[in-house]
Chain A
């Protein structure tokens, strides 16, 4: 890796680091209960809960740290934190 001077680093290069490996609990989204309000999308600190084409939401599990905020904030209780078994 050639060092770029000025400690200049390229934008968005943290994407190489898959923080999904951090979590113990993963959010499971139940679209049947979902009202498509988008609160989960706004209140994900990683910005990885994305709107699907059909208007429902899904997290990018490669980066989701399992913080549980989406589940805590969902007004319809459509998201449940589940212990991830591996």
Chain B
């Protein structure tokens, strides 16, 4: 062991991690890199040990003696304002933030609804578990006063500012490089304490420093997701048209309020879905508990929002004696109503659904899953003791949010093209897709295009890869910059060749006049004339949201004894907008859907009353494997988004969003002979067993 430090011995970095308060009046509260006096959740770091290798470091960590005086633990998100202890000194309660999204008359409209259905719905807490845990390596060049950090992050620019702020170094003396990342799913959006500690200790001890989280740390320290509790009322007219949707919900933020508000706001906006809703009220309290902080995880609130809307439609259909698909049909926004202003405001901007054909997408799902023929099959199979169920659910995938992103496209005299962005990839295949965009707009051979992402040294402005925004924001920026480069190239070439721009073509190392192979000019010469060493352009893509339809249809068989779920058929129809690379797009959709399957049927971060996490290994936290993955049948619509020039739609999260309600609906349908109502996710065999026990206690059929 080389060194060990407690919080007291690192006063220079003992300040809250940076971030931005969401709104005036909200309590943004971030942890310090090490807990100084109070430890607020299991996993919060209290000391740092430096050693030559991980074995010695763990020996050192084991030798750390901590004297804990136990404080009462708060784990429930529903809290008595009088008796619940506060987690942060000086607070009146553990409510860190409150916001309301309203359309029309909000909750007041319920008074006019002849049918009102009320329900409490919950989405349990999850852990993302990317294959590679978080990791950082820092090198400080004392002579130059320069810090270089290699970091697994989704936001190179935020990390760049974070290091600068926490370490007191000017931005130009910090470089953050993002190498290939082994998965992220949202949890690497945040700036974490270990990252600051590694960089600080590299400077302080004068040697390179590395920290690689292990699986247990990934379970206890890294952000978790979901964890929402919704009290919902839906009002309808006698024909099943939605009049009002009112949801007062609680977001469990964990022990700090760092990144929980984003998913909560996404849930509030996404609940609306592709339906006509004249009056809506989504009110949220962000509540602290003594658990690991929560933040974005694939879908980041969108699956939760879709879950509450779709499950309320199921309940309303049941209450009115209407078919679940029919109720949805009556409320889907028609193509001629688009663009559709929801009346909602997101960060002071109107939420407007841009383009699509939602009824056509939904009918595709209903037809493909054989919704009409299913009931006959279901009855026949039940005779044989097989419990089949069906679910259909929709959403609009909000993508491309956040401020803009820039891109720099450079054409060198050699004919090589370099594309630089501030987004970063963790397996999506950005370098392929972005090279395609640039090559197409430039008319260049794709093998000449190189993509550089996630390096603060490029100086490209942007905010990073999350919220299904990269291709919408950076992709548009690349297309625009590449077009400008091409324009300058062609202007110069047209002049030299005395030909029209429209007749010019990039062939190998030359620009040629189409149909006149003798009339050509070396690229090198054109570039030299147009820009010297290279032609370079920087452009920005906006952060205007797009809303793409996605519908899921699923049939399952539930083992009535073991309560395991087998997916029999799974149909997805989604509006992919303008697609850059069909294979990558399909991969995003299927991967997201598999994560939804895990969310519903196998994964759960459960805590006991003392705040101890009950699953901290992959033995007890069950991720779906390739063998558990069903064959997904995909249908695509292609309505270009109207909110960005290229018509791109984000695709990273849509596959997860309606999978939660679709699967829950199907599982509940399969178990309908037992009369059990499944309001809370997940629906693991253990949770289903608990639900059946409760039902039996009520004297139900089971």
Task: Verify that A and B bind, or say they do not.
Answer: no
Binding site for B on A (CB under 8 A): none
Binding site for A on B (CB under 8 A): none
